[in-house]
Chain A
C-alpha cells in the first residue's frame, strides 16, 4: 500500500532564506504528484503538479522536482517570505488516471520576518 511521508513535520526559517521541503513515497509506480498549500482553517490550494514522465515543474519562486526511481520529491521555495507561512502537503496519484490521491501529513512552514 502506498505511503507518503513528509519530513520535517515543522520548519521555521528567517525571511529571505531558500528552503527545501521533502516528500517520499513507497511505491514508485505513481501517475503524478501534486504539491498543495493549506492556510490555517482553510482548504487546500494546488501549487504544482508533476506528471510521472516529468522531472520538475516551476511556478514563480516555487520549483518541484520528482525522482520516481528513488521515491522522492522536493519543493524548493526561493527567497521565502512571511506570506509563505502555511502547511505544505504532497500527494501522489497511483492506480492510473482514475486512481486516488494519497496525501502526506504535511510540513508546517513558518517564515519569520
Chain B
C-alpha cells in the first residue's frame, strides 16, 4: 500500500525550540509539499519541492524552512517555534507529468502545539 508517512502525529514544543517535521513517501514521487491547516483558514501551502535539493516558497513560508536531500524525504523546519505556529501540518506528494495526472497523496498529519 503506497503511502506518505509523517513520523510524528502529535508534538508539544515550547516557544523558541527548533522543530523538525519529517515526511517520507514510498511512491517515487518527484513533487512534495508542506501545508498547514487551521480552522476557518483551510489549507495553506508553506513550501514545496519538485526535485531533490530544490525548494520553492508557497503562500506562507515565513518562519519555516525545508530540506530535501533525498527524493523520498521532505523535512519542514521551524527554526524558533512560536505559539502562532500551533497547527495541523500536512505533507503531500505527487508525481510529475503531463496532463495534470498528478493526484496528491497526503500523510495523516502532524498536530503541533507550541506552548
Q: A-side interface residues toward B, CB under 8 Å?
A: 31-32, 34, 36, 41-46, 49, 51-52, 89, 91, 93, 97-98, 100-101, 103-106
Given A32-B100, A52-B100: A100 touches B58 (CB 8 Å cut-off): yes
Residue of A nearest to B90 (CB): A43
CA distance A106 to B111 in the complex (A): 19
| Contacts between chains A and B (CB distance < 8 A), count | 56
CB within 8 Å of A: which of B84-115? 90, 92, 96-100, 102-109, 111
- Interface centre among A43, A45, A51, A101, by most chain B C-beta atoms within 10 angstroms, is A43
Compute how far the CA of A105 lies from the CA of B37 in the bound complex, rounded to whole angstroms. Answer: 10
Chain B residues lying within 8 Å of A44, measured Cβ to Cβ, are 90, 92, 104, 106
**B102 & A41 in contact (Cβ 8 Å cutoff):** no
CB B107 to nearest CB in A, in angstroms, measures: 5
B106 CB to nearest chain A CB (Å): 4
**B104 contacts across to A, CB distance below 8 A:** 34, 36, 44, 46, 91, 101
Known: A32-B100, A51-B99, A52-B100. A43 touches B109 (CB 8 A): yes
Measured between beta carbons, the chain B residues less than 8 angstroms from A89 are 42-43
User: What B residues does A103 contact at CB under 8 A?
Assistant: 42-43
CB nearest to B100 among chain A residues? A32
> In the docked arrangement, what's the CA distance between A42 and B98, Å?
29
A93 and B92 alpha carbons, distance in the complex (Å): 15
A42-B109, A43-B107 known; A106+B99 contact, CB < 8 A: no
- Rounded to whole angstroms, the CA-CA distance of A39 and B16 in the bound complex is 32
Report which of A52, A98, A105, A106 forms a contact with B50, defined as CB distance below 8 A: A98
Q: Report the minimal beta-carbon distance from B95 to chain A, rounded to whole angstroms.
A: 11
Q: Could you mark each residue 31-71 of chain B with 1 if its beta carbon is under 8 Å from any beta carbon of chain A, else 0?
A: 00000000011110100101000000010000000000000
Residues of B within 8 A of A97 (CB): 96-100, 102
